Amino acid sequence: MELHLNTYGSAIRKKDDMFEIWVDEKKIKISPQKVTSIVIANAVQISSDAIQLAMEHNIDVVMLDQYGNPYARVWFPKIGSTVLIRRRQLEMISDALGLDFIKRWICLKIMNQYRLIKTLFSKRDWIEEEHKQKLELLRNYAISIYSSEGSLEELSPTFMGLEGSASRIYFALLSMMLPEQWAFQGRSSRPAKDAFNAFLNYAYGILYSKTERALVIAGLDPFIGLLHSDNYNKKSFVFDFIEPFRVLADEPVFYLFSRGKCKAEYLDSVHKGLNLSTDGKKFFAPYLLEYLDQIERYRNKNRKRIDRIQTDAHSFANFLIGKKENYLEASVARKLENFINPKLVFSDEED
C-alpha cells in the first residue's frame, strides 16, 4: 500500500519498528511490510527515524508540491542498477533502436487515448458521425508518426507536434462528454485554468513519482531522455516513459466528473487558476489510489493497474541488455500493430 499524507499537522514517526501515523489527533500503526511508498503533501511532519525505517524496507519517501508534482524524494541507497543498461540508454539516442522505441511509445499513448474515447463513445447514444471522424484522426496521427523516416534528432519536433495535435483532439472529445459545467478548453497546468485540469495535474504528479521510482528500480536512468530534451537537472526519461500510462490518470478523473463527484470545496482559487484544496487532496488521493490498485491481468499475472509501469520498466531494461526479445507485452504489441497498420484499420476492435 501507499501511505498518502496530505492533512496539515499530520505526522509520521517510528515506534516499535512500526510507522506511527497521527492524523486529526487519531493515531494508527502500520507495519513497514505493508508499505510500498510514503507520499507527503502539505505541512506534514516525518521524523528521521521514520525515514530510516523506510530506507531499511526499501520504501521511498516522496514530497509533492501544491500541484501534485514531486519536488523531492528520499531514495533507498541500494538501488539495483547496471552500467550496461545506462550505456545502452545513451546509445539509443543516436541509433535506430531509440527511434523505433519512441515511435512505438508515442503511438501506444495515442492508441490508449483512442481506446478510452471509443469505450466512452460506446456508452453514449448521442455520439454523431463527426465525433467518430475526429476520433479516427488520432489513428492517422499515429500512422504518420510510425511511418516517418529520418533520425530521432530530426524527427523529434515532428513527433511532438503530431502527438500534441492528437492530444488536443483527445481532450476536446473528453470535454465534450462531460457535464456542461465541467467542460474545459484543452490542457492547462501550473495552475490549471479549470477544475478538470486541476485534478488531472495532481493525478499526473502522482504518476510522475511512480514512473521515476519504477525506472530507478529497473536500473534505468530517469535523466537520459530520448524525445524530451536532455536538459540539466530534468528527468527527461520520466517524461518519455510516462506517456502511455497517462490514461491511468485520465480515466479516473473523467469518471470523477462525469459521475458528479466533484465539489466546490475541493478547489482553491489561485492567481490565474485553480489548485486542489486540502479537502480536494484528501478526497482525491484515496479515490485515485483505489483505481490504480484494482487488479487486472497483465503479462500473464494478476497485477495492480499501477504495476504496469514497473513491469514494463523491468521489461525495457532487460530488453536493452538482451535478456528479452520485446519490451512490449504480447497482447499490447498485437493491438498496437493493428492500430498503426492501415490495412487492418478495423482489427483493433478485438481485445
Rounded mean pLDDT, 286-306: 94
The answer to whether residues 48 and 89 belong to one domain is: no
CA distances from 254 to 133, 251, 266, 294 (A): 21, 5, 16, 17
Number of domains in the chain: 2
Residue of 228, 205, 247 lying closest to 109 (CA atoms):
247
Domain of 49, CATH number, reads 3.100.10.20
What type of residue sits at position 65? D
CA distances from 134 to 89, 128, 169, 286, 321 (A): 36, 10, 7, 34, 40
The answer to whether residues 323 and 204 belong to one domain is: yes
Given a contact cutoff of 8 angstroms between Cβ atoms, the answer to whether 30 and 19 are in contact is yes
Residue of 335, 342, 344 lying closest to 114 (CA atoms):
335
The answer to whether residues 223 and 257 belong to one domain is: yes
Q: Which domain holds residue 204?
A: 83-349
Among residues 56, 74, 92, the one where a domain terminates is 74
Domain of 178, CATH number, reads 1.20.120.920
pLDDT for residue 217: 81
Task: For cell 510516462, name the residue.
Answer: 242
Distance CA 339, CA 143 (A): 8
pLDDT for residue 77: 61
Given a contact cutoff of 8 angstroms between Cβ atoms, the answer to whether 315 and 116 are in contact is no
Tens-place pLDDT, residues 80-122: 557 889 999 999 999 999 999 999 999 999 999 999 999 999 9
The answer to whether residues 44 and 155 belong to one domain is: no
Instruction: For residue 204, give the DSSP letter.
Output: H
The answer to whether residues 9 and 110 belong to one domain is: no
The answer to whether residues 18 and 160 belong to one domain is: no
The answer to whether residues 153 and 28 belong to one domain is: no
The answer to whether residues 263 and 191 belong to one domain is: yes
Tens-place pLDDT, residues 18-76: 999 988 778 899 999 988 778 887 778 899 999 999 888 878 788 887 766 778 888 76
The answer to whether residues 125 and 179 belong to one domain is: yes
- Strand 60-64 vs strand 11-15: parallel, antiparallel, or unpaired? unpaired
The answer to whether residues 122 and 269 belong to one domain is: yes
Among residues 19, 51, 74, the one where a domain terminates is 74
pLDDT for residue 23: 84
Beta-carbon contacts of 124 under 8 Å, excluding residues fewer than 6 positions away, are 177
Distance CA 253, CA 11 (A): 28
Given a contact cutoff of 8 angstroms between Cβ atoms, the answer to whether 198 and 191 are in contact is yes
Tens-place pLDDT, residues 259-292: 999 999 999 999 889 999 999 999 999 999 999 9
pLDDT for residue 127: 98
The answer to whether residues 291 and 315 belong to one domain is: yes
Beta-carbon contacts of 28 under 8 Å, excluding residues fewer than 6 positions away, are 20, 21
Kindly report the pTM of this predicted structure.
0.84
Buried b (16+ CB within 10 A) or exposed e, 22-53: bbeeeeeeeebeebbbbbbbeebebeeebbeb
E strand or H helix at 76: none
The answer to whether residues 198 and 275 belong to one domain is: yes
Beta-carbon contacts of 182 under 8 Å, excluding residues fewer than 6 positions away, are 194, 195, 196, 257, 262
Among residues 55, 74, 93, the one where a domain terminates is 74
